[in-house]
Amino acid sequence: MKAAYYGGSRQIEIRPCVPVTPGEGQIRVRVSHCGICGTDLHVYLGDLDHRIRLPEVIGHEGSGTVAEVGPGVTGFAAGDPVAVMPIMSCGQCPACRAGNYHVCHQLKVIGIEAPGAMQASWTVPANLVFPLPATLDLQQAALVEPVAVACHDIRMGELRAGEYALVLGGGPIGALIALVAKHKGARVLVTEINPFRIAMLRRLGLEVVDPREGGWVERVMEETGGAGADVVFEVTGVAAGAEMMTKAAKVRGRIVIVGVFAKPAPVDIYKIFARELRLFGARVYQREDFAEAIDLVAAKAIPGDELITNVLPIDELRYGLDQMATGGDVMKILIDCQS
């Protein structure tokens, strides 16, 4: 029974997990697996120190089974397989009242502003707990949260079957956007620079270009009869992606900002004007995206076995984070939270 705490400036401390008895409206989950996300890397590198109270248990991509149900909670019993939607909203602010609880003015992300999933036992609000089909493997179920991100991005971009999607950045989230978009009948081109990721995405049947080799704009134009991409997903979060995102979008095309830009980046505003482009931000997910993600993972629409390159014991979390920080040969890394 262990828990992984972030203690500031690249410090990960593995300590005994202290189970918290669920209070009114809470559920205690026996965590099976938790994915390491780019957000966890930002935490590890200290980028989110202004949001986190140290030390804190990190992780927000948890799957598991119900261990204990708090007073007033109905519909769940010990042993039920579950995934947790790790965002807490206030319910009172203008965004929440308008139904946009996922961008609540006081949004708290579990694993940053509240204790996260990288521990053997995790107590969370019951309204964030989603039941899983009994047939769904709990290791695969750790992909539900990032798949929900992809579902939300695609919904925000209004991508339809038969349309052409350009995905800038083929890390775990870019890969999932591409796979879900293809599953929904879109034609997809991914740009990525990491050779390991390029090879993996190609093995998964995706079209991939390394933008440093040039010619990618011409390719999009050629494949769309000179029109350009219907939807561009910016998933890099860096200036190069911001520069690329307006280059190959069609007239009245949509650009979805998925990447988390740590600092402002130059954007070709003129192209947005000249082609009447529409720009969307897409942050986390809403309940319908989470439900759709569970269906997609349960239907094996996501090649989880290929995407999950490592399953590490909790003691090796730091190694996993370092692999991500240095661009190692990894795609999705999971932590075995019962190890």
What contacts 20, CB < 8 A, 6 or more positions away? Answer: 28, 115, 121, 123
**Residue 337 touching Zn ion (CB under 5 A):** no
Q: Distance between CA 29 and CA 69 in Å, rounded?
A: 9
Is 39 one of the annotated active-site residues of the chain?
A: yes
Q: Distance between CA 290 and CA 31 in Å, rounded?
A: 18
Single out the segment in contact with Zn ion by CB under 5 A; choices: 79-87, 101-109, 203-211, 235-243.
101-109
**188 token code pair:** 């997809």
Considering only 32, 89, 121, 236, the residue that binds Zn ion (CB under 5 A) is 89
Is 50 one of the annotated active-site residues of the chain?
A: no
Q: Is 206 strand, coil or helix?
A: coil
**Residue 144 touching Zn ion (CB under 5 A):** no
**Residue 286 touching Zn ion (CB under 5 A):** no
**Residue 267 touching Zn ion (CB under 5 A):** no
Nearer to Zn ion, 155 or 202 (CB): 155
**Residue 58 touching Zn ion (CB under 5 A):** no
User: Residue 60 has what DSSP assignment?
Assistant: -
Shortest distance, CB of residue 52 to Zn ion, whole angstroms?
15
Shortest distance, CB of residue 233 to Zn ion, whole angstroms?
16
Nearer to Zn ion, 184 or 332 (CB): 332
Say how many C-beta atoms besides its own lie within 10 A of residue 253's C-beta: 23
Rg of the chain taking only CA atoms, in angstroms = 20
Considering only 14, 41, 93, 221, the residue that binds Zn ion (CB under 5 A) is 93
Q: Which of residues 102-141 bind Zn ion (CB under 5 A)?
A: 104
Q: Distance between CA 181 and CA 193 in Å, rounded?
A: 21
Q: Which of 291, 288, 307 lies closest to 299, judged by CA?
A: 291
Q: Which of residues 12-41 bind Zn ion (CB under 5 A)?
A: 37, 39
Contacts to Zn ion by CB under 5 A: 37, 39, 89-90, 93, 96, 104
